[in-house]
Structure 1
Amino acid sequence: MLRILHSLPRTHKLLLLPVATMVTVLGTQKLLTTYQGITQPSTPLESVLVPLPNDSAPGVPTLSQERTPVADAIGRASRALDATREHIPLKDLQATEIVDLDVIATAEADMTDIPDTALAGPGIVLNDGALHMAIVMGTIANGMLDAPTQQEEGVVVADATSYEDYGIELFDDTSFLDLELAAEEAFVPHWETHLVESGETFAVLAQNKLGLGYSEALALLADLPDERLLTNWRAGQSFDYQLDQQGRLLSLRMMRNAREGVMVERQEGDFNVTGIEREGEPVQRLYAGTVSGSFARSAQATGLDSGSVTALTRLLEKKLDFRRDSRRGDQFQVLVESDMIDGETLDSRVLAVNYAGERMNLTIVHNATDDNFYTPDGHSLDPAFARYPFEGSYRMSSPFNPRRLHPVTGRVSPHNGTDFAMPIGTAVIAPANGRVERVANHPAAGRYVVIRHDNGYRTRYLHLSRALVERGDRIEMGQRIALSGNTGRSTGPHLHYEVIVNNSPTDAMKVELPENRSLSGDTLVAFQRQAEPLIAALESGESGIVNVASYQQGASQQEQIAD
């Protein structure tokens, strides 16, 4: 039955909806059920018994007992519905026509003139128009095209279908309307994800799955800031894409990592490429450990990533000599901030460090204002560095020159330091804080001293007459460390002075030297207010994620109480 309805024109479907007719054999009666006013909020259900002649045959009733094929009955109904939507007077109808739906009301009116007792008896003939309507609607409702057939006196007749089999569900199904509406909806592209498989190449994938030609795929790669993003991918990587209605690439999105990626969009036949940068949620985590062996391995054992361990080591080297100052059992806490994106930590940054050791106690905090580290009282890890390692004024006898001819041998011999002519015994002073790394004698350099400073620089002093410090001594800026002389391979009394940066000799008279960055005044007050919750988090000693903001609130409450 549903297939019949779906095959009819749309106009016929809408006309058939207001009337649902089910016919079943009840002895010599037919049950005619109608819905009137289906568009109303409540739809009344009415049933009418249709009397039939005593000699009515089983199956679908027909006028004058004719065996009318189903196709003819449906065809007649269709022609009548297409011909008119207006009221057809009952007197103008013929037995082979379909009447307007108003005939049901007329038929019911005629039935009211028949006594109730007559309805149950044989021989009562219903108005011909109403009976014909019942026959046609019964033919449709009985689903004869779907029912099994039986041969009866040479005529194929469909088996009758009971009322209960279909009920009112026949006309509740209006899915054909939804299908027609859905066909009119605009195409909306949706995102899909492709997982890269082993051995898969973008050029082949672009043609097979993204609807791109070979030249289009090459043009897309050429537009990328780094084509290796799509050519050097690995199995397990993924990207998202959208296709248009013809199956051609509209958009492609691929992430290089959790933070960075590219978006490719088709615009007027060309591809427009834009970068993607995701912002993460800052998360602070406290790492606590104990020195056991090397400091770097002890720090890594706490869970710190390699980048944080390197940054931490470089910071502490400005104040600590790990080979001499660190001891087994020294404790340290490191507060690190990272960006959290999709459960992955990125771009870790050291915020504060506390080192409590047998030979050194140090706490340093990052200052967000100038991106430097200071002690809680505002002293910088990069103290001032003097340009000259002596007091007074002395003549420069030989400048820094990597192509200089040696005055004794006459050969090209780089002069990696600066020479100052001065009397033997002139005091040599430390240009910055640091620790004595070496005191020794050499045939060419004579008596010499090497100092490693807190900012990472190293200085060397050659041709000395006497060293005033020993290896491992901690020295302060301005402290006397040696007396100048004329030892080793030398043409006269002088001081050879070298500054080494990143293990490379530099011109001590031109190298950029750190200035005194200690904080004071309002700048110091602002830094200490910022550093207070970070130091409190360090002192808590609770490893794992910490809420620095809660320590800030606690500090604010204490300030209010103090006021």
Structure 2
Amino acid sequence: MHNQRKPTPARLFGALRQHFPRTHALAAGAASFALALTMFASTPEVEAKRHSLPVKLTAVAGDEQAPAPEAATAGPDHSEAPLRERRLQVRNGDTLSDLFQRAGVSAAEMYELLSSGDEAQQLSRLKPGEELTFRIDGDGALQSLEVHRDRLNLVEFSRGDGGDYRHILHQRQPDSYTAYREGEIDSSLFMAGSDAGLSSNLIMEMAQVFSSDIDFALDIRRGDRFSVMFGEEFLDGEKVGNGPIQAASFTNQGKTFNAVRYVDANGDASYYTPDGKSMRKAFIRTPVDFTRISSHFNPRRLHPVFKTRRPHNGTDYAAPRGTPVYAAGDGRVVEAGYSKANGNYVFIKHGERYMTRYLHLHKRNARTGQRVEQRQVIGTVGATGYATGPHLHYEFLVNGHHRNPATIVRKLPKAKSIPESEMGRFRAQTQPLLAQLESYEQPALAQRNEDNDNNVN
């Protein structure tokens, strides 16, 4: 069998010229030529080329060849395709699994990320308000995950060439400036602080600085004054937060207390008087913030429920249900439980001599045997047990005997002061802060003196 030559339009036209007149041959030739084109266009090879994806060719330097057209008929390259991006905000009750599901990423991808290292375990401790940015390829595989903690901190998990995840922490440094606020108390510290432009957190921080010297539920009087110097942080010209209090003063019932922040050689920060004595006593004055005393220490009090004379061996602080209750000092929880009279309670032993008791709690955040630190939240205010309304009943015992919580703390020693060997470093760091605070206070002091003189005249 020999190879048969494939007809072409030229051969067909030549054959027609031999058997037909010229005019007939021309007409028949044109028809044959159109028929041949139709036959050629319907061959499989031409059909494949007609439907293949267009190929973008780029110039290649040197003697390298551009890819052959046949290679372009392969499927699209997902590695070069743009990644799909999903940005989600963590809501109350969200789990990491919920977020991955909303982003359209499989649980298998989530477990692969979580098992990539210790850093990835922090993804199980997401907080409401944080934002997650998923970047996913065309096959649905996670290529990177960004956790936006806040405007300054971003944690990135990105897949490397080998398929493993790497962890990168991106931190932006805000611009910091010194700010100063002062105020006079007319009704409450919170109202005066708000009027002066202090945030709730700064008001609480200032109260904590002076909490060993001033009982903010009992000692505050109209006309008390405060001044505070702190840092303000800005990012791209917009305020993003406050730094710590640098120096502050508080005048309570005519007595002025001064405090300055000092960071020691180990990087630990605390507040001290200008001469280096610690502002922190072994116990804080009140275990709750900004409350009113509904019942004082009174050994002959008339009980509000039983209407009989029964000793009131503590102080009752009226506060809304759920208000945090703090440990008054460092110690160990010796009892935490529930009884019909006390409701939910926590007892803390502080060394050999002291014990504090916290009764009628709504919730307990401490367990028996647990070590706690001063101002650690051990529960919340409630009305459990024999209680007529939400309040904290607080007791202070010395060698097993009840003492008045409102007065005993003043008689106890403070924490350690700055050692003499460190006083040079302490003065070099704190004296400029105290001088700056004084320079801010001088105009206001001069104005008050002038107003007093005018009132006298």
Confirm or deny a common fold (TM above 0.5): no
Task: Choose 1 or 2 for highest CA Rg.
Answer: 1
Structure-2-length-normalised TM-score: 0.44
TM-score, structure 1 as length reference:
0.37
